[in-house]
Structure 1
Amino acid sequence: MPHDENTLRQVGALHSSCIDQGFLSSLGPRFLTVLYRAIDRSDDAVLIVETDGNGVIGFVTGGSGMGPIYGQMIRDWPNLILALLPILFQPRKVLGILEILKRRDKDDPGGDLPRHELFSIAVVPAARGTGVAERLYHGLAAHFLARNVPAFRIVVGETLTPAHRFYTRMGAKPVDKGASSPSVKIMLGGMAAKVGRVVVPGGLHTIGGYIRPAGRSLGLVTDTPRLDTVRPFTDQRTAVDTALRKASDLKEGWDAHGAALREHLG
């Protein structure tokens, strides 16, 4: 059963106060209420809430990608517009929202990572250490398991040590310790099985690129610096510039060798 509007407003306010370092929190509690209403109404996501006599003391959300949720938000356009009115004259935030919406259909994590994920979890300070977070986490795991989803992923900023400790204690297993850095890719759909037949173009070698399977696709890949979503952009400008340069180099390599590679793969 969907949660009532008062509960959704409390969830949005709790996100804003407890998950206060991300981009979404900068959009304000009214926008977050629209977001959590969309999660609550989506068939592809779930919002689990714990309350006491005074209201919401914690929540967790999860699902199979944010694409359907952003679509639900757009269908709720009257409330979305009202929520966005205060930031319409803040170009950086508007551009950030447009970028999120542009990526709404690109939820495939690639590789062997599960498609389903934990989106967000928060508990009021007074209820931390009382078992609320553990019940919420296990509630989400049970929800997924009941839908034949045996595993889900959790994306956590490298600097969030308490979160890493909590998820490890819940049984989560880190998958990228010692792994290569993030990357930009050109994906060739349905060609993962042909990875052994591919000779890496010389131009790709020169930018440190390589070829690997990514799900059912074959990826032309170049690694990029790791970014932390909770750190300010200004502190990571050099890393972003490097990533953009490497993405441009990869595109130039594809422009030069893509036709021959496709012909080789048949």
Structure 2
Amino acid sequence: MTETGVVDTEELTGADIHAAAALHVRAFPRFFLSSLGERFLREYYHGFLLDPDAVTVVARTADGALAGIVVGSVRPEAFYRRLLRRRGLRMAVAAAWPALRSPRTALRLLRGIAYRGDVPVAAHGALLSSICVDPAVENTGRGRALIDRWWLRARQQGATSAYLVTDADDNDRVNAFYQRCGWTPVGSYLTREQRRMNCYSITAPADGS
């Protein structure tokens, strides 16, 4: 156990799904996926369970509570196809009420259905889809431990490179975090909502370590 009361990292389990959705909302209260509600997020995180291409890491407190989670996939296009096929209907039903309340949300949701991990910059390999840490244990090194362990497991599943995207504006702390963790900026782009996004990548060492 660490001085922060957080134990070693392990994989996401079915028992974590409700806590993962709640943690996501706490960590990202103003972000799009959070606006779709915990029911939607439970379906989203459930899609990473038992998928052959999924890479998941969680951190727990000493009493077993979820302190952080990172999810992604080594073959994002195939993963998101399966996610849509297996859980698309459940996700759509879960997001129906938020979408009805906001036409803008509905449009973003429709575009999200077609998402396959593609970004309009030169990035390829495994995709780190989401990382969130309980605000109560931020600035304790837990985020770095999670992302490093995720990248290790992605390499163990055959990945030689990986990428992620995050907001470019009003997000200096997060952008600095990824660069401290060894991820390199490879480009920026605007979404249809005019959000400027930064894309970061990382490549496995030539010696495979």
- The interval holding the TM-score normalised by the smaller chain is 0.7 to 0.9
Confirm whether residue 42 of structure 1 aligns to residue 51 of structure 2: yes
1:148-177 Cα distance to aligned partner (Å, 9 max, x none): 31221121211211111111111111223x
Contact 1:36 1:47 in 2 (8 A): no
Q: Within 2, Cα distance between the matches of 1:12 and 1:66?
A: 23
Bigger strand share: 2
Aligned match of 1:15: 24
Aligned match of 1:83: 94
1:22-72 Cα distance to aligned partner (Å, 9 max, x none): 211110111001000002232222221111115100001111326633642
Task: Note the 1:100-139 alignment, pairs <5 A.
Answer: 100-101=112-113, 103-105=114-116, 107-109=117-119, 112-139=122-149
| TM-score, structure 2 as length reference | 0.74
Structure 2 counterpart SS, 1:41? coil
Structure 2 counterpart SS, 1:94? helix
Structure 2 counterpart SS, 1:69? helix
Q: Whose Rg is larger?
A: 1
1:122-150 Cα distance to aligned partner (Å, 9 max, x none): 11122122221111111111011112312
What percent of counterpart residues are identical? 24
Aligned match of 2:195: 227
Gap regions ≥5 residues in structure 2:
1-10, 198-209
Q: Within 2, Cα distance between the matches of 1:88 and 1:112?
A: 32
1:73-95 Cα distance to aligned partner (Å, 9 max, x none): 54236643552343353233233
Q: Within 2, Cα distance between the matches of 1:183 and 1:163?
A: 18
Aligned match of 1:261: none
Q: Within 2, Cα distance between the matches of 1:158 and 1:98?
A: 23
| TM-score, structure 1 as length reference | 0.60
Aligned match of 1:165: 176
Alpha-carbon RMSD across the aligned residues, in angstroms, is: 2.9
Contact 2:58 2:66 in 1 (8 A): yes
Aligned match of 1:96: 108
Amino acid paired to 1:227 = R
* CA shift in 2, pair 1:86/1:153, >3 Å: same
Aligned length: 183
Bigger helix share: 1
Amino acid paired to 1:35 = Y
* CA shift in 2, pair 1:148/1:100, >3 Å: same
Q: Within 2, Cα distance between the matches of 1:17 and 1:38?
A: 20
Higher relative contact order (CA 8 A, sep 6+): 2
Contact 1:34 1:73 in 2 (8 A): no
Q: Within 2, Cα distance between the matches of 1:67 and 1:19?
A: 26
